[in-house]
Structure 1
Amino acid sequence: MKDDRLYLVHISECITRIEEYTDGKEQKDFLDSYLIQDAVLRNLQVLAESTQRLSPEIKNAHPDIPWRQIAGFRNILVHDYLGINLKQIWLLVEKDLPDLISKIDVMRRELGAE
């Protein structure tokens, strides 16, 4: 349980960093900047690594989060990095991360990891 709180905080921090890197940016800005791409991809990797370290109990308590897909995404980032579609990464940042941070915030409140 204590470790879960730590990993949830870490996941939140990764998402916050990604939001900071992409704040006020458009897809074109992202596609044109290796610096932003590298920062976003690194934090997505760390985020995905952290989700893999969460306990099965907490994952089972939140089946609405696509834990398996996040783990699979981590494997793509680490092992198939040449095949990464940056336009899909941008969509993930724009569409999926806001929903994920909301759910992670709920989990943190449940565990007292504010």
Structure 2
Amino acid sequence: MTTDRAIFRLQDIKDSIVNIRKLLEGKTFDEMYKEVATRAAFERFLEIISEASRHIPDDWKAEHGPDIPWRQVGDLGNVLRHAYHRVDVEALWSVYVDDLDPLEQAIDAMLAA
């Protein structure tokens, strides 16, 4: 993969993180859960993150995000696409609350390298 394509994927992840924060800013879990369109948009942004993460070179992941569970990030999209009817929305909320900051830090480090 060319470096340019990897950079585009990193930017897709960064944009999706920003969009998730804008989408969910000031919302509680219950509000997000009840707002079908908001929940669907949140899931779509996570799906983009998941798919884009599969196109980041492994050496970049190891250097700038060794603590990120990259396999789980990549697998999340499959769950959202194929098991959408069984998605644990509380687990997705946990991604928002607990996992976006470290992921964004890794992505920012890759973009700055």
Q: Sequence identity of aligned pairs in percent?
A: 26
**1:59 corresponds to 2:52:** no
1:103 positional shift? 1.5
Matches of 2:41 and 2:51, distance apart in 1: 15
Could you list the runs of 4 or more consecutive aligned residues of structure 1 that deviate by over 3 angstroms after TM superposition?
A: none
Preserved contact between residue 68 and residue 102 of structure 2 (Cα < 8 Å):
no
Partner in structure 2 of residue 33 of structure 1? 35
Partner SS for 1:64: coil
1:89 positional shift? 0.9
Aligned CA distance change for structure 1 residues 56 and 99 (closer, same or farther; 3 Å): closer
Partner in structure 2 of residue 102 of structure 1? 105
Structure 2, unpaired ranges of 5+: none
Partner in structure 1 of residue 14 of structure 2? 12
1:11 positional shift? 0.4
The alignment's TM-score, normalised by the length of structure 2, stands at: 0.90
Partner SS for 2:67: coil
1:57 positional shift? 2.9
| RMSD (Å) for aligned C-alpha atoms | 1.2
1:98 positional shift? 1.6
Matched residues, number: 110
Moved more, 24-33 or 54-63: 54-63
Structure 1, unpaired ranges of 5+: none
Matches of 1:87 and 1:59, distance apart in 2: 26
**1:70 corresponds to 2:102:** no
1:94 positional shift? 1.1
1:75 positional shift? 1.2
The alignment's TM-score, normalised by the length of structure 1, stands at: 0.89
